[in-house]
Amino acid sequence: MAFKIGTKLVVPVRPGDHVQGPAIAPVTLVEYGDFECPYCAAADVIVKKIQKVMADQLRFVFRHFPLTQIHPHAEAAAESSEAAGAQGRFWEMHDRLYLNQQTLDPWHLVEFAHGLGFDTAQFARELEEGVHRPRVREDFMSGVRSGVNGTPAFFINGFRYDGSWDLMPFLETLERVSREVPAF
């Protein structure tokens, strides 16, 4: 397998994580991502294709890892996804952010919320007050503790995956894991 030996996900999937797919899926894919990272946006397209192919065989978990030194809007974008999540709409904002990476300034974030039909007053207030900053930092620190130092970073069933995330090699690895490795 293409796992970096000894690198384990320190914080297992927990209540409050953003999850798509059944808890009993044989494969759990955890991504640490940054909404301003072009590699994360490219990987998101691949992950969506993999989700369609693997269906209920895959549980996908997204965690924040904003690289603020090189992506000045990444933390605000992460917080905006959490503000959307507070309204039960995390995944809609997740997708909107990746599709609009060049416009992640505060004005556009509120516009995205408005366009998606959110309570924009609540959304804007939560961004202004930094309500969701602790959650974003919690995800970030869990990544640091697991050895994440760049994005996207993937863990398959609790182990770091450092192989290709091009569609076919990534899908083949995940399918092989679904047949060979107990679920995380």
**Which pLDDT value is given to residue 183?**
52
- Note whether 149 and 160 are within 8 A (CB): no
- For the segment 5-14, what is each residue's pLDDT rounded down to a tens digit? 458 999 999 9
**Which pLDDT value is given to residue 6?**
52
Q: What is the mean pLDDT of the segment spanning 106-134?
A: 97
Quickly state the pLDDT bin for 53 (edges 50, 70, 90): very high
**Which pLDDT value is given to residue 51?**
98
Helix, coil or strand: residue 183: coil
* CATH value at residue 7: 3.40.30.10
**Which structural domain, as residue segments, surrounds residue 7?**
3-180
Residue with tokens 């294709």: 49
Helix, coil or strand: residue 86: helix
Quickly state the pLDDT bin for 179 (edges 50, 70, 90): confident
| Per-chain mean pLDDT for the chain | 94
Residues 34, 38, 41, 42, CA torsion sign? negative
DSSP 71: -
Residue 143 has pLDDT above 50, yes or no: yes
**Which pLDDT value is given to residue 180?**
82
Quickly state the pLDDT bin for 55 (edges 50, 70, 90): very high
Residue 1 has pLDDT above 70, yes or no: no
User: Number of folded domains in the chain?
Assistant: 1
Residue 2 has pLDDT above 90, yes or no: no
